[in-house]
Amino acid sequence: MDFNMETFYYIGIKREKNEALIQSLIEYEQIKLKRAEIIPAEPFKMEINEGHTLYDIVGFQDTSNFAISEKLFNLLKKHSITGWKAYEISIKGVKEKYYGFQVLGRCEKLEEPKEAFLNNIQFYKEENGIWLSDQIPSKYIVE
């Protein structure tokens, strides 16, 4: 597979009517879980606490984390999409298999951050002081 810096993938949650949100039955640190600094050793116990329709991407109530269906998990693996890790979760009352999704990739230095801000690219600051964005066009990233 050829590596192409022009190809980036964005996985996000678009809230639909009656879309399920899940909540953990186990305490955890949401940022550490998101960044794969902690990885649950056994299926992470969850329950649906809002909505009822499960899609291939299911948001956690904590807003930082989400789960992916087994179908999406297998597609990502099949097409050798990298920069992520997953852990098994168990959603109370749901037979389908889901995985918690963890992002391993990080954005490098922005070449023209002022232009990025002017073009309405949304940034947010993590607890550790690092500024992140969910989607950055490749023209702003330098090696």
Joined together, the tokens standing for residue 74 give 């297998």
Domain count, the chain: 2
Angle at 122 between CA 116 and CA 125, to 5 degrees: 110
Task: Give the rounded distance of the alpha carbon of 138 from its chain centre.
Answer: 19
pLDDT over 60 (residue 115): no
- On whether both 41 and 60 belong to a single domain, the answer is yes
Q: Would residue 52 count as lying in a domain?
A: yes
Mean pLDDT (the chain, rounded): 79
Instruction: Please give the helix or strand (H or E) that residue 101 lies within, else none.
Output: strand 98-103
- On whether both 59 and 112 belong to a single domain, the answer is no
* H helix intervals, the chain: 30-34, 70-78, 113-118
Interatomic CA distance for residues 116 and 123, integer angstroms: 10
- On whether both 94 and 38 belong to a single domain, the answer is yes
Phi, psi of 21 (to 5 degrees): -120, 145
pLDDT over 50 (residue 22): yes
Domain that holds residue 134: 108-143
- On whether both 26 and 65 belong to a single domain, the answer is yes
pLDDT tens per residue across span 26-70: 889 988 898 888 888 889 999 999 999 999 999 999 888 999 999
- On whether both 88 and 30 belong to a single domain, the answer is yes
- On whether both 34 and 90 belong to a single domain, the answer is yes
| Structure confidence at residue 1 (pLDDT) | 44
- On whether both 74 and 136 belong to a single domain, the answer is no
- On whether both 114 and 93 belong to a single domain, the answer is no
Place of tokens 């329709």: 53
Q: Would residue 129 count as lying in a domain?
A: yes
What pTM did the predictor assign?
0.68
